[in-house]
Chain A
Amino acid sequence: MRRLPRLILVGVRTHVSYMSRSPIEITFAVLVPLVYATLAVYLFRAAGDPDRLLTASVGAGLMGIWGSVLFGSGGAVQNQRWLGTLETLVVAPTPLALVLLPITLATAVIGTYAMGATLLWGVLLFDVPLDFAHPALFLLAVPVCVLALGMTGLLLAATFVLLRNANALANPLDTPVWLLSGLLVPVTVLPAWTHPVSWALPTTWGARAVHAATSGGDVLTPLLAAAALGAGYALAAVLVLGRVERRARAAATLALT
């Protein structure tokens, strides 16, 4: 039982170190969210809504975390394919889900650079006051949101095992999750038929908790919902991964690029 936390801890540390040295990962995790943060701040200012500038910065940070998880998880399997290590990972005694979990968690950890960068950017350039409604709960909500995003990423990574070019699915998934999870725009502005989809995403509840900790409201209920849904997604990922792994082995498509 002690091996599992150690495996996750060492895996996350290894992959965070690896990704921290990749200029492209840092660009996606820091520069692109800064562009969205700038854009959001100017839009919120133009809308005469300066009180929500912190919400805009936090929202852009969450968008950055999702971007990092999405492309990181989408690329998790593909990268191992390109490196020629996917078969080795599959035949290792450790279940594949536990090998992929640290990768997706590491992408979420790298994504938190986005939150730090957008908050710092807001403070230094736009005088956005760091006036959190619940500062302590914000520090709790962000890691839980990151975990929830990581679990969603794990489910994505599991389905991407079957796809030779996972980016084809990952690229268009960026904006719909921003929208459906209410990372920057509240889900209430979306058509009613999209609401059940939003409720089914752990990212929605994670973002709701982070926004509530920023601007006020109930933090704990959405936080618990994010954690519960995240756990459900992790379980689904393990089940899906078992099936797609067997299918990829049977069809001999595991290493095909």
Chain B
Amino acid sequence: MFRFLATARLVVVGGAISYRALFNWTTPPMFIGTLLVGPLLQVFFFVFLGRELGVADDRFHLVGNAVLAASASGVYGGTMAVANERRYGTLGAVLLSPRHRIPLWLGRALPYVLNGLFVSAFVLTAASLVLGLPLPAGALAGLLLVLLVAAGACSAFGLALGALGLRFRDVFLVSNVASSVLLLLTGAAVPRDTLPGWMRTAGELLPLTHAADAARGLTAGAGLDAGLLGAELAVGAGWGLLAVVLLGVFERGSRRRATLDTM
């Protein structure tokens, strides 16, 4: 019992402290401008592009981009949770800890999951109000669940990218490219049936793809597709597992070469 409480404390309290420390550059204007207003305006860009080309309707772009909004905090936050420790010179102190690595890193991803969920929910609500596309009341609980799973999968993806920060110096370059790849391949911004087969297959392995489809089904009144939700969970778990493996391998490698805090 005591061991469980200690692990829970490491996940929740440790995660919260690391979030405050690593997200210290975030001021309210920065948070509002980058995480709330930016993705909201991106919805309008794709809605007007969709209207001009007639490839998909407003709701397609609204829901897809709202789900995609979780990617900013998930991908960059997950990356920062590891890479910024190295940048700030505190990685050595963190890895001196004898605690198990899974709750240690899981706790770090947790605030970014909640952050992503908040951003997605805000973008979905605000954009649907502005565009006059009301969300069905019966779908709200399902939507919240889908957005939570999407934010979780995105944070696991970000943590896997962040693990590269233990090995490579400019990991934010990777996050920028990954963020663009999510935009192109997940079908959040462009209908996936317009993409070639290999791009669709690659999209299946990325977070957000199944969540965007599930959220669109919910807003169309089709109910929650358990298969799509399960697929998103499986993708998130896969990226989470890869993150833990990569973090372990790169930690051992950097200890062996004494390059833990080397920039």
Report which A residues bind B (CB closer than 8 A). 23-24, 27-28, 31-32, 35, 38-39, 42-47, 49, 165, 167-169, 171-172, 174-176, 178-179, 184-186, 189-190
Q: Smallest distance from the beta carbon of B161 to chain A beta carbons, Å?
A: 14
Say whether, besides A27-B173, A32-B176, A189-B48, A38 and B184 are in contact (CB < 8 Å).
yes
CB contact under 8 A between A46 and B180, given known A168-B29, A175-B38? no
Contact A167 B34 (CB under 8 A): yes
B33 touches A171 (CB 8 A): yes
CB closest chain-A residue, reference B54: A47
> B103 within 8 Å of A by Cβ?
no
Does B177 make an interface contact (CB < 8 A)?
yes
Pick the contact of B173 from A23, A39, A190 — CB < 8 Å? A23
Enumerate chain B residues within 8 angstroms of A38, measured Cβ to Cβ: 184
Give the CA-CA distance A173 to B157 in the complex, in Å.
27
* Contact A178-B54, Cβ < 8 Å, known A23-B170, A169-B33: no
- A168 CB to closest chain B CB (Å) equals 4
Contact: B30 with A165, CB < 8 Å? yes
The answer to whether A31 and B170 touch across the interface, beta carbons within 8 angstroms, is no
Smallest distance from the beta carbon of A29 to chain B beta carbons, Å? Answer: 12
26 CB < 8 A contacts A-B: A24-B170, A32-B180, A35-B184, A42-B195, A43-B53, A43-B194, A46-B55, A165-B25, A167-B30, A167-B33, A168-B27, A168-B29, A168-B34, A169-B29, A171-B38, A172-B34, A172-B37, A175-B38, A175-B42, A175-B45, A179-B44, A179-B45, A179-B48, A184-B49, A185-B52, A186-B52
- Residues in B whose Cβ lies below 8 Å from that of A190: 48
Interface set of B (CB-CB < 8 Å, partner A): 25, 27, 29-30, 32-34, 37-38, 41-42, 44-45, 48-49, 51-55, 170, 172-173, 176-177, 180-181, 183-184, 189-191, 194-195
Asked whether, in the complex, the Cβ of B176 is within 8 Å of the Cβ of A27, the reply is yes
Identify the closest chain A residue to B33 (Cβ).
A168
A46 near B33: Cβ-Cβ < 8 Å: no
> How far is the CB of A37 from the nearest CB of chain B, in Å?
10
Majority SS at the chain A contact face: helix
Q: How many whole Å from A71's CB to the nearest CB in chain B?
A: 11
Closest residue on chain A to residue B195 by CB atoms: A42
Q: Is the CB of A165 within 8 A of B29?
A: yes
| Distance between Cα atoms of A23 and B44 in the complex (Å) | 30
| Distance to closest chain B CB from A26 (angstroms) | 9
Chain A residues with Cβ under 8 A from B42's Cβ?
175
Residues A46 and B37 in contact, CB atoms below 8 Å apart: no
Please, which residues of chain B bring their CB within 8 A of the CB of A24? 170, 172-173, 176
Q: How far is the CB of B3 from chain A (nearest CB, A)?
A: 42
Could you say which of B27, B52, B181, B191 contacts A35, with CB atoms under 8 Å apart? Answer: B181
- How near does chain B come to A201, taking the closest CB pair, in angstroms? 15
Known contacts A172-B38, A175-B42, A175-B45: A31-B51 contact under CB 8 Å: no
Closest-by-CB residue of A relative to B191 is A46
Using Cβ atoms and an 8 Å threshold, which residues of chain B touch A171? 33-34, 38
Q: A35-B180, A46-B53, A179-B48 are in contact. Are A172 and B33 (CB under 8 A)?
A: yes
Closest 10 CB pairs of A and B: A46-B194, A47-B53, A172-B37, A35-B180, A172-B38, A168-B33, A168-B29, A168-B30, A171-B34, A175-B45
Q: Chain B's nearest CB lies how many Å from the CB of A155?
A: 18
Q: Which of B37, B48, B53, B181 has the most CB of A within 10 A?
A: B53
Question: In the docked arrangement, what's the CA distance between A24 and B194, Å?
Answer: 30
Using Cβ atoms and an 8 Å threshold, which residues of chain B touch A35? 180-181, 183-184
Interface residue from A27, A28, A32, A185 paired with B49 (Cβ < 8 Å):
A185
Q: What's the least CB distance linking A145 to chain B, in Å? A: 20
Do B41 and A175 touch across chains, with their CB atoms under 8 A apart? yes
Residues of chain A within 8 A of B49, CB atoms compared: 43, 184-185
**For the complex, what is the distance from the CA of A186 to the CA of B52, rounded to whole Å?**
8
User: Do B38 and A174 have beta carbons less than 8 Å apart?
Assistant: yes
On chain B, the residues within 8 Å of A184 by CB distance are: 49
CA distance A172 to B42 in the complex (A): 9
Q: How far is the CA of A39 from the CA of B191 in the complex (A)?
A: 10
Shortest Cβ distance from residue A186 to the other chain B in the assembled complex, whole angstroms:
7
Tell whether A39 pairs with B183 under 8 Å between CB atoms, given A49-B53, A167-B34: yes
Neighbouring B residues of A168 by C-beta, 8 Å: 27, 29-30, 32-34
User: Nearest Cβ in chain A — how far from B11, in angstroms?
Assistant: 30
Contacts of B183 in A (CB 8 A): 35, 39
Give the distance in Å from the alpha carbon of A24 to the alpha carbon of B177 in the complex: 10
CA gap between A23 and B177 in the complex, in Å: 12
Residues of chain B lying within 8 A (CB to CB) of residue A42: 190, 194-195
Complex Cα gap A89–B126 (Å): 43
